[in-house]
Amino acid sequence: MNTYGHAFRITIFGTSHGPGVGCVIDGCPANVPISLEAVQLEVERRKPSAGIGTPRAEEDLVQIQSGVHEGKSTGAPIQIFIPNRDTDSSKYAKFRQTPRPGHADYPALMKYGEGHDLRGGGQFSGRMTAPLAAAGGVAKSLLAEEGVRVAAYARSIGQVVDQEERALEDLGSVYEHPTRAATQELDGRMQREILAAKEDGDSVGGVVRCLADGLPVGVGEPFFDTLDGELAKFMFAIPAVKGVDFGSGFAAARKLGSENNDPYRIEAGRVRTSTNHAGGVLGGMSNGMPLDLRVAFKPTASIAKPQGTVDLGTGKEAILKIEGRHDPCIVPRAVVVVEAAVALVLVDLMMRGGYIARQC
């Protein structure tokens, strides 16, 4: 279903090849300063960069159609609409017969039957992340009022891995880099990794790391609606995500307890931990340390190389050649989407826990 959240909810709609995509944000407190420019900026950051992305020009002009009046939220639902440009849907017709490996085509056709609108990937299109980015802009505006910051970057693309344990302060120039790497040097290497795959008619994946600080202690609603669980759930809604971990994450499985536990200490009068192997989450609640998660993206499923598939009409195996140009790597565009996802989850859980009031 297309709604996420309890106290602060987002509902997305639209498809890649219709009039547009958008979302409704419900439960936003009144009086939050929300500027169209700030929301538009988030959507801009999701656009493909010259050279390393798809050349499809997306204008993505954000319209806020309700819920914001004179630069502030009113308490009513905020509706955001992003019109699509004219698109050629003809090339998608054949995927109904011969589903694309790695895409949602086959399960979607089984689930929705004849009615499924496959054009542009239908409701499974990566384009659905544009309204997510826009909604993230609203959530970040609210978080800013609460002193919470969220920032992500490309931790790895293909074989290029950024091994540094960067802090939020180190991420100031991420959006100046087309790959969303933390440094210019890594950006260059990641660009080359992407272009090499592209030349080969292939694609690469990567890992996005996201940090957030300024959270009060106790955000998260265990047993089930945990901070980490809600974040993970949202991350898997982002197309191409295959893994999520927090703090030392999968590496914790190989550590000793005496290595992995984070001892408490007092720092400037506040309770902190010396290390942050927990990634800011204990018992499903924020513990006052920066939130730290990693999200693994698979390589883009649409590649130029011919692939084995089946013909659902004849029941025979077939070879599929996907025409057109596609992002050889989704990671650079996904960075702002991961930030949006984190911001949306944090606002919802902070409102549920009473850490954000009804009026700003």
Q: For residues 205-264, which are near a copy of itself according to CB under 8 A?
A: 205-207, 216-218, 220-226, 228-230, 232-237, 239, 241-250, 252-264
Q: What are phi and psi of 32, to 5 degrees?
A: -80, 125
**Residue 105 near residue 319 (C-beta atoms within 8 A):** no
One residue of 36, 41, 77, 146 binding a copy of itself per CB under 8 A: 77
Whose CA is closest to 212, among 119, 288, 142? Answer: 288
Pick between residue 176 and residue 200 the one whose CB is nearest to a copy of itself: 200
User: Is residue 63 involved in binding a copy of itself (CB under 8 A)?
Assistant: yes
Q: Which one among 35, 49, 74, 87 touches a copy of itself, defined by CB under 8 A?
A: 74
By CB under 8 A, tell whether 141 contacts a copy of itself.
Answer: no
| 137, 299, 337, 347: which one binds a copy of itself (CB under 8 A) | 299
Among 35, 66, 87, 183, binds a copy of itself (CB under 8 A): 66
- 52/155 Cα distance (integer angstroms): 17
Residue 4 burial (CB count, 10 A): 21
Q: How far is CA 348 from CA 84, 243, 343, 354, in A?
A: 29, 22, 9, 10
Query: CB neighbours (10 Å) of residue 222?
Result: 11
Burial of 56 (0-12, 13-18, 19+ CB in 10 A): middle
- Binding part of the chain for a copy of itself, among 35-43, 145-153, 165-173, 270-278 by CB under 8 A, reads 270-278
Of residues 20-39, those binding a copy of itself (CB under 8 A): 20-22, 24, 26-27, 30-32
Residue 114 interacting with a copy of itself (CB under 8 A): yes
Among positions 273, 291, 336, 338, the unique one binding a copy of itself when judged by CB under 8 A: 273
Helix (H, G, I), strand (E, B) or coil at 259: helix
Cβ-defined contacts of 167-175 (< 8 Å, 24+): 167/211, 167/290, 168/211, 168/212, 168/213, 168/290, 171/211, 174/335, 175/45, 175/336
Binding flags for a copy of itself, 300-319, as an x/- string (CB under 8 A):
xxxx-x-xxxx-x--xxx--
CB-based contact 97:312 (threshold 8 Å): yes
Segment contacting a copy of itself by CB under 8 A, of 47-55, 168-176, 180-188, 351-359: 351-359
Is residue 34 within 8 A of residue 42, CB to CB? The reply is: no
Q: What is d(CA 138, CA 56) in angstroms, rounded to the nearest whole number?
A: 26
**Minimum CB–partner distance for residue 357 and a copy of itself (Å):** 6
**Backbone angles phi and psi of 349, in degrees to 5:** -70, -35
* Residue whose CB is less far from a copy of itself, 137 or 284: 284
Q: Which stretch binds a copy of itself (CB under 8 A): 52-60, 123-131, 164-172, 179-187?
A: 123-131
Of positions 182, 211, 285, 291, contacts a copy of itself by CB under 8 A: 285
Q: Shortest approach of a copy of itself to residue 125 CB, angstroms?
A: 10
